[in-house]
């Protein structure tokens, strides 16, 4: 406990070779091409095979697989600047296909597999994709439907990773590999020729944002943007070649690919598997030293630990005592104060009886977690610190090529997203918006010069986030600019701040949606965690129907207590005066959630307009 990671000393590494992804190469393909020269037989990647057995992949094998895939893509007709959509969950084949395209001057287009069919159609039409990589038969069916029903979808062929199809427009992943082997046998230099022709300013990726409002926008990310990220992060010394970095985040998100390049720049082993239901098992198997995630995951793990045992049972009382001890010790350590002897003894006992078991769930070797993509409550960070696990934040937007700010694990400052990464600059606009300039800023929005001109002004990227910078350079994000709520009394409230406080206080919440624009007071729509609700129902022999259980008076009384606790942590104008518990979950299919599990606030407020009005009877 109280262990603080130190920056990795990279001076002993072969700097000339590691520099291949530190900005001295023209393209991602050139970086990949030379990466195995650092440690050709060293494991660079780990992944589960079709039998769920974890496999090792050396850096040399990684390059070979990418070259074979690239040659196969050439063989089926992919040419430079072709756009190829990848519709798959996170897996090693996603990485291979993406980097193979980068080696050919091809352009990866991202589509979340759980997107709505109309988003599939829009992105395929808007991007002009000629090819699609589809994960399975379910994804394939959705892609083929768009091909059959829209004249503006120009897809010619689909590469299927899993399953079979008799459709002549479909080719299997294994057939692409076989085609690549044949092409390389005939023309061994076919891939390197394309790598050599690639320019730093060439477009590498079009990342379609899963926006909470409107149609997805396609952020154009160049080879130079990606290589800048790798270079900047290498100078920080975050990881080393002996680290194991576990990746499960969607690679359709900028954060995912950025993490892969950062790990590569350090020669770090990356274990990859995007199946959410396998995260806990995978942590125990790969035993990572580092992992990135989103607040929702860290909130759920904490909530599960807190509610695992009945409050009045012996184990429940022990856990509650241990968490209290850990919190007290954490608060003193964060403040730089020594622990009283009695508290130090109590924490050692709590660690032996409770915390060590929790850390083993993470594999037992974890140095730190990094949270990104949405606001994380400092209370969540303090809880993890209390059990001996460091959780820090990073910040960035798709348009800045993911991570622009980072709270270094050896200099943790809870509640902030840290300082700006090397090579970028930041300033705060008069209205509080965070503006960023640097090598990670996108080229622009695909086919949208007007929106590009609004977003990038004189080289400054307008992030759309409101924040403040402290004297030490650390940034604190308040909220999305468009999400700030102004009450009829003229007071501004931050939904992200209030919602994260509420979720950190109540372990039974899945989501919260703050309401109050132009109103006299703030209210909230609350969505309960379905798993915890069903467990409660089973315990009380009340069934497992979400709609019925969520409206039980016992549930409302319990939630009411947590809302009061949350209000006590907020300013008077920020408190929630009334709330409603929704009788169903929010879903991606209904359009209420993005594929990255962010709430589409406007759609939710429209869908539950009657519920909202019931919270303001006098108006």
Q: What residue ranges do the domains of the chain occupy?
A: 57-198, 484-614
CATH code of 57-198, in short, is 3.40.50.980
pLDDT digit string (tens) for 423-477?
Answer: 899 999 999 999 999 999 999 999 999 999 999 999 999 999 999 999 999 999 9
| Residues 271, 247: Cα–Cα separation, whole Å | 6
SS (H, E, C) 575-592: CEEEEEECCCCCCCCCCC
| Residues 587, 597: Cα–Cα separation, whole Å | 8
Q: Which residue in 279, 287, 227, 163 sits closest to 32, CA to CA? A: 227
What's 484-614's CATH class? alpha beta
Mean pLDDT, the chain, rounded, equals 91
| Residues 575, 567: Cα–Cα separation, whole Å | 5
* H helix or E strand, kind and range, residue 67: helix 59-75
pLDDT digit string (tens) for 213-222?
Answer: 568 899 999 9
Checking if the pLDDT of 60 tops 90, the result is yes
Angle between helix axes 378-386 and 295-307 (nearest 10 degrees) is 50
In this structure, the dihedral spanned by the alpha carbons of residues 609, 610, 615 and 619, taken in order and rounded to 10 degrees, is 90
At residue 100, the pLDDT reads 98
Checking if the pLDDT of 2 tops 50, the result is no
HSE value, Cβ hemisphere, 13 Å, CA-based, for 227: 26
At residue 213, the pLDDT reads 58
pLDDT digit string (tens) for 415-425?
Answer: 999 999 988 99
pLDDT digit string (tens) for 87-97?
Answer: 999 999 999 99
| Residues 114, 604: Cα–Cα separation, whole Å | 19
Global confidence as pTM: 0.88
Q: Which residue in 446, 360, 358, 373 sits closest to 404, CA to CA? A: 373
Least confident of 7-21, 109-123, 272-286: 7-21
Checking if the pLDDT of 4 tops 60, the result is no
Higher pLDDT, 15 or 177: 177
At residue 18, the pLDDT reads 36
Do residues 373 and 253 make contact, with C-beta atoms less than 8 angstroms apart? yes
Checking if the pLDDT of 407 tops 60, the result is yes
In this prediction, residue 24 has a pLDDT band, given cuts at 50, 70 and 90, of: low
Checking if the pLDDT of 311 tops 80, the result is no
Higher pLDDT, 298 or 597: 298
- Across the range 548-566, mean pLDDT stands at 95
Winning range, highest mean pLDDT, from 169-173, 312-316, 502-506:
169-173
Checking if the pLDDT of 414 tops 50, the result is yes
In this prediction, residue 3 has a pLDDT band, given cuts at 50, 70 and 90, of: low
Checking if the pLDDT of 490 tops 90, the result is no
- Grouping H, G, I as helix, E, B as strand and the rest as coil, residue 617 is coil
DSSP-derived secondary structure letter, 465: E
Sign for the pseudo-dihedral over CA of 12, 13, 16, 21: negative
At residue 619, the pLDDT reads 63
Least confident of 145-159, 187-201, 308-322, 414-428: 308-322
Q: Give 93-135 as a DSSP string.
A: HHHHHHHHHHHTT-EEEEE-TTS-HHHHHHHHHHHT-SEEEES
Checking if the pLDDT of 22 tops 60, the result is no
Tokens of 151: 């004249």
Do residues 321 and 350 make contact, with C-beta atoms less than 8 angstroms apart? yes
In this prediction, residue 13 has a pLDDT band, given cuts at 50, 70 and 90, of: very low
Q: Which residue in 132, 129, 73, 59 sits closest to 102, CA to CA? A: 73
At residue 412, the pLDDT reads 84
| Residues 296, 312: Cα–Cα separation, whole Å | 27
pLDDT digit string (tens) for 164-200?
Answer: 999 999 999 999 999 999 999 999 999 999 999 999 9
Checking if the pLDDT of 615 tops 70, the result is yes
Q: Give 185-196 as a DSSP string.
A: HH-TTHHHHHHH
At residue 296, the pLDDT reads 86
In this prediction, residue 14 has a pLDDT band, given cuts at 50, 70 and 90, of: very low
Checking if the pLDDT of 21 tops 50, the result is no
């Amino acid at each position: 406990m109280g262990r603080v990671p130190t920056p990795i000393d990279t001076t002993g590494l072969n700097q000339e070779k590691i520099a291949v992804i530190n900005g001295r190469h023209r393209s991602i393909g050139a970086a990949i091409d030379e990466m195995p020269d650092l440690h050709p037989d060293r494991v660079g990647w780990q992944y589960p095979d079709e039998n769920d057995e974890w496999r090792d992949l050396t850096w040399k094998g990684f390059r070979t697989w990418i070259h074979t895939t690239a040659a196969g893509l050439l063989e089926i007709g992919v040419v430079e600047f072709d756009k190829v959509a990848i519709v798959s969950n996170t897996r090693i084949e996603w990485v291979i296909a993406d980097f193979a395209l980068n080696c050919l001057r091809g352009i990866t287009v991202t589509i979340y597999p759980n997107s709505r069919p109309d988003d599939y159609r829009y992105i395929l039409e808007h991007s002009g994709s000629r090819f699609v990589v589809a994960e399975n038969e379910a994804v394939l069916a959705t892609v083929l439907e768009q091909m059959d029903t829209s004249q503006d979808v120009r897809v010619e062929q689909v590469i299927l990773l899993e399953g079979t199809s008799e459709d002549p427009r479909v080719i299997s992943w294994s057939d692409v590999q076989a085609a690549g082997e044949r092409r390389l046998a005939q023309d061994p230099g076919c891939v390197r020729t394309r790598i050599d022709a690639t320019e730093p300013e060439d477009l590498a990726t079009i990342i379609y944002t899963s926006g909470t409002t409107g149609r997805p926008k396609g952020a154009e990310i160049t080879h130079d943007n990606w290589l800048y990220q790798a270079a900047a992060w290498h100078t920080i010394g975050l990881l080393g070649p002996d680290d194991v970095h576990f990746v499960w985040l969607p690679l359709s998100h900028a954060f995912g690919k950025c993490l892969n390049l950062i790990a590569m720049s350090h020669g770090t082993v990356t274990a990859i598997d995007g199946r959410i239901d396998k995260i806990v098992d995978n942590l125990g198997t790969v035993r990572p030293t580092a992992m990135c995630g989103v607040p929702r995951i860290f909130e759920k793990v904490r909530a599960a630990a807190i509610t695992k045992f009945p409050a009045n049972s012996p184990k429940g009382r022990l856990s509650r005592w241990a968490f209290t001890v850990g919190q007290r010790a954490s608060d003193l350590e964060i403040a730089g104060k020594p622990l009283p002897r009695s508290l130090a003894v109590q924490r050692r006992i709590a660690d032996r009886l409770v915390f060590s078991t929790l850390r083993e769930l993470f594999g037992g070797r974890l140095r730190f977690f990094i949270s990104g993509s949405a606001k994380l409550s400092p209370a969540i960070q303090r809880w993890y610190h209390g059990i001996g696990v460091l959780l820090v934040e990073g910040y960035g937007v798709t348009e800045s090529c993911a991570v622009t700010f980072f709270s270094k694990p050896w200099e943790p400052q809870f509640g902030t997203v840290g300082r700006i990464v090397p090579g970028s600059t930041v300033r705060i606009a008069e209205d509080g918006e965070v503006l960023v300039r640097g090598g990670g800023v996108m080229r622009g929005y695909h086919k949208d010069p007007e929106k590009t001109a609004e977003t990038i002004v004189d080289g400054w990227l307008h992030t759309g986030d409101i924040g403040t910078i402290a004297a030490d350079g650390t940034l604190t994000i308040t909220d999305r600019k468009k999400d700030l709520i102004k009450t009829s009394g003229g007071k501004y409230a931050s939904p992200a701040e209030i919602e994260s406080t509420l979720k950190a206080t109540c372990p039974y919440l899945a989501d919260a949606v703050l309401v109050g624009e132009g109103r006299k007071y703030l209210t909230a729509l609350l969505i309960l965690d379905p798993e915890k609700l069903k467990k409660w129902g089973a315990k009380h022999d009340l069934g497992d129907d979400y709609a019925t259980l969520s409206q039980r008076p016992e549930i409302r009384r319990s939630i009411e207590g947590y809302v009061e606790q949350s209000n006590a942590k907020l300013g008077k104008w920020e408190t929630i005066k009334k709330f409603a518990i929704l009788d169903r979950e929010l879903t991606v299919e209904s359009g209420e959630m993005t594929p990255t599990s962010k709430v589409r606030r406007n759609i939710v407020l429209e869908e539950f307009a009657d519920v909202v009005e019931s919270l303001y009877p006098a108006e």
